[in-house]
Amino acid sequence: MTTSTTPDPEYSMQAGARTAQENLLLGNTGPAAYAQRADRPDLTVHGEPKVVPMRVAKNFYVEPRDPDPRGMTVVGADEVVGGTVVDLWVDRSEPQVRYLEIDVDGGARTALVPITACKVNARRGRVMVNAILGSQFGAVPPTASSEQVTLLEEDKIMAYFAGGFVYATPRRARPLL
C-alpha cells in the first residue's frame, strides 16, 4: 500500500473557504449544490436588473408598520454576530424583499443573506440566521456588482445557506439514526 502526501484536488479548499465546513458550503455538492446558470442579472420586462438594493430602487420603502432591519445585528445559529444589515435587496417585478445586505468581516465586505433564511426580531434589534454560524458569513459567495446580482450568483448564495443546514457544523452532517 502506498500513501501520498499530496492533497487530493477533490478535497482541496474552495476559494473563500477558511474552514472545512465552509469548504463543504462552497463545494457545489449535496444540499450546497447549484446550477451553472447564466452569469447575468435576471431582467424586468423593461430590461432593468430585477433584484437590486433599495439604494438603487428608490421607489421602494419599508412599510412603516413593519420592522426595518437596516442597522440590526445579524447572528448565526451559534448566537455569534456575523454582521450588520446595511440595505435591503428588492425584486422590482414582485414587490418584496429578497435579500438582506450585511457588512461582514468588520465592514471589509458585504454579503447577501436570503430573506427566507432570516428571522427579524425588532424587539431585540437583531436578525437570526439558523442556517450558518456567525463566523461563516464572511465566506458567503460575493456578487461582482454592488448594484445587481446575477442568476449564477443567486444560485451560489442560496446553495451556501441551504448547505448550511447540513454542513455548517460537523454535528449537523452526522446521520440522525
pTM: 0.87
Q: For 46-72, give one letter per residue: b (16+ CB within 10 A) or e.
A: eeebbbbbbebbeebeeeeeeeebeeb
pLDDT per residue as tens digits for the range 38-82: 999 999 999 999 999 999 999 999 999 999 999 999 999 999 999
Topology (CATH level 3) of domain 9-167 = Photosynthetic Reaction Center; Chain H, domain 2 (3.90.50)
Dihedral angle sign, alpha carbons of residues 91, 94, 128, 150: negative
Domain ranges of the chain: 9-167
Per the CB < 8 A criterion, the answer to whether 120 and 67 are in contact is yes
